[in-house]
Amino acid sequence: MMDHNMKKNPVSIPHSIWLADDIKRLERDAADAFGLTLYELMLRAGDAAFRVARDSYPDTRHWLVLCGHGNNGGDGYVVARLAQAAGISVTLLAQESDKPLPEEAAQARDAWLNAGGIIHAADIIWPEATDLIIDALLGTGIAQAPRDPVAGLIEQANAHPAPVVAVDIPSGLLAQTGATPGAVISAAHTVTFIALKPGLLTGKARDVTGILHYDALGLEGWLASQTPPLRRFDATQLGQWLTPRRPTSH
């Protein structure tokens, strides 16, 4: 897979690529190998996203965190809690659903509430002071266009002057193909975890991911021992394979 989307130092981005359908299994296997819970991996992911957001926008003081009703939203709760602990004013909006949250996302939500955080409905008026938006609405599990109210939140975020940092993948970008069948977050930065997904490097990804950051969440050695279904290659690798053409060649 030729990579046209690396806006970050390629040395920091792995060459292995895992299909979206394999990610959950990979996370479970990694957690088992290190004796970690999935919630502990979520804490690491949220910390990685928080650090990228803080380091990329150190002068921002009013963050708006958009949380979906899944594990991507769980990462958002972790980001919100860490930002609040760092003295940043945080407004957290959560998608309503009749379905229960996944266990680890529920733990992250409870930790946010126990830290004094407030969960606002998705239809509130956004604070005028908002100077950074954290997108934790949709993760790698979607396979179709986002529906309202999530689609409306995506469009509102794109219309807002504040930059957006996407957690794992911009909401609305399909992790398997890079397709954007509906509303999609246009991120300034995307922080992805554990494994690169094909959709971050193909299709419309270049238009919406912004600067791509990768964090292995401390699992580098274990991940290196796994055999991925796909690998990316870049201009440096191509240069090793393609020799200069003869002047008389056509």
Helices (H), 57-193: 71-85, 103-114, 150-159
For the chain, the domains span 10-232
CA–CA gap between residue 130 and residue 172 (Å, rounded): 22
pLDDT in tens, 216-230: 888 877 766 666 655
Torsions phi, psi for 89 (to 5 deg)? -75, 125
pLDDT in tens, 6-57: 444 344 676 667 687 788 888 888 888 889 999 999 999 999 999 999 999 9
Under a CB-based contact definition with an 8 Å cutoff, are residues 169 and 142 in contact? no
| 159 has pLDDT over 80 | yes
Residue with the two structure tokens 């975020």: 157
Residue 246: predicted pLDDT: 65
Query: What percentage of the chain has pLDDT greater than the value 70?
Result: 82
Domain 10-232 in CATH: superfamily?
A: YjeF N-terminal domain (3.40.50.10260)
Residue 230: predicted pLDDT: 54
State the pTM of this model: 0.87
Tokens representing residue 14 in the block: 């792995």
Q: What are the angstrom distances between the C-alpha of 87 and each of 4, 59, 119, 140, 189?
A: 38, 12, 18, 31, 22
Under a CB-based contact definition with an 8 Å cutoff, are residues 165 and 50 in contact? no
